[in-house]
């Protein structure tokens, strides 16, 4: 299958300043060529690769680390939704551009809360505006990476072992609640299912793994430090996640002031 990769331009270096890197997965070669022309002529973005295969898109995203991945809803070997799920946490921002606007597709877009969605055919300015929004979000993602390191440090301080599966789940959960505090009040309906999609597992497995991580912390961590954090003998999953997220959110707001 044909795959285009731009090997000529050094990432981030143009006479006009930083250009954002875009990777495009679309089964239609006609639309890939059209979007390549629009993206390249804008001067704001660089198309680093385009292909029709989701597997190739995933492999090249890991290699090239674009700022944004744009996918169609239907690819040659998987759905665009499956690709977006797999790319969670790998790429700063993801978007969908598709001619497949039947009711089941649109309902899936709504269910998955895909914010960056554009139906085909589209106006050139609409595509560029969507990419600008995506790149603004990508910049916010980079800032959040700094706070991911802070979350990691805090989890180590309270005793959560890094080698267990629940550690990854609870770290991502804290970051998500920092961004959307209301998720702390909807663990079973929203937070656990979202984590399950990201890690290709089930909500019940996510819940059990986080509980195991909290239990492990209470076996090996400093009791005085833990009481200072949570003010209870041993918190529930929800209390643990909400308390850690709130502490870090307050620190972030203080540092931004």
Asked if 78 and 55 touch (Cβ cutoff 8 Å), the reply is yes
Report the C-alpha gap between 76 and 240 in whole angstroms. 42
Residue span(s) of the chain under CATH 3.40.50.2300 come to 3-140
pLDDT at 63: 92
User: Which band of pLDDT confidence, cut at 50, 70 and 90, is reported for residue 5?
Assistant: low
Look-up of token digits 């744009």: 70
Closest by CA position to 94, among listed 59, 69, 57: 69
- pLDDT greater than 90 at residue 136: no
- Topology of domain 3-140, per CATH? Rossmann fold (3.40.50)
What average pLDDT is seen over the chain? 85
pLDDT at 11: 45
pLDDT digits (tens, 9 = 90+) for 43-85: 888 899 999 999 999 999 999 989 899 999 999 999 999 999 8
pLDDT at 47: 93
Residue span(s) of the chain under CATH 1.10.10.10 come to 159-256
First to last CA, the chain: 51
pLDDT digits (tens, 9 = 90+) for 221-249: 888 888 878 887 889 999 999 999 998 88
Closest by CA position to 11, among listed 48, 44, 41: 48
The reply to whether CATH 1.10.10.10 applies to domain 159-256 is: yes
- pLDDT greater than 70 at residue 3: no
Residue 228 class from Cβ within 10 Å (0-12 exposed, 13-18 middle, 19+ buried)? exposed
- pLDDT greater than 60 at residue 185: yes
- pLDDT greater than 90 at residue 216: yes
pLDDT at 220: 87
Q: Which two tokens stand for residue 55?
A: 């597997």
């Amino acid at each position: 299958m044909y795959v285009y990769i731009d090997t000529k331009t050094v990432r981030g270096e143009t006479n006009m300043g930083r250009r954002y890197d875009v990777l495009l997965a679309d089964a239609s070669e006609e639309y890939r060529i059209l979007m390549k022309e629009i993206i390249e002529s804008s001067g704001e973005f660089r198309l680093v690769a385009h292909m029709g295969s989701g597997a190739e898109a995933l492999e090249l995203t890991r290699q090239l680390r674009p700022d944004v991945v744009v996918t169609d809803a239907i690819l040659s070997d998987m759905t665009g939704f499956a690709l977006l799920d797999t790319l969670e946490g790998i790429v700063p921002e993801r978007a969908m551009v598709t001619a497949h606007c039947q009711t089941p597709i649109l309902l899936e877009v709504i269910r998955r809360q895909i914010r960056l969605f554009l139906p085909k055919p589209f106006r050139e300015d609409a595509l560029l505006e969507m990419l600008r929004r995506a790149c603004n979000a990508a910049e916010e993602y980079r800032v959040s990476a700094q706070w991911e390191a802070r979350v990691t440090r805090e989890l180590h301080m309270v005793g959560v072992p890094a080698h267990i599966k629940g550690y990854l789940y609870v770290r991502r959960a804290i970051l998500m609640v920092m961004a959307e505090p209301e998720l702390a009040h909807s663990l079973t309906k929203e937070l656990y299912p979202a984590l399950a999609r990201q890690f290709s597992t089930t909500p019940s497995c996510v819940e059990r793994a986080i509980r195991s991580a909290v239990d492990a912390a209470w076996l090996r961590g400093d009791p005085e430090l833990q009481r200072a954090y949570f003010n209870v003998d041993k918190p529930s999953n929800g209390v643990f996640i909400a308390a850690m997220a709130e502490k870090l959110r307050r620190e972030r707001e203080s540092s931004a002031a």
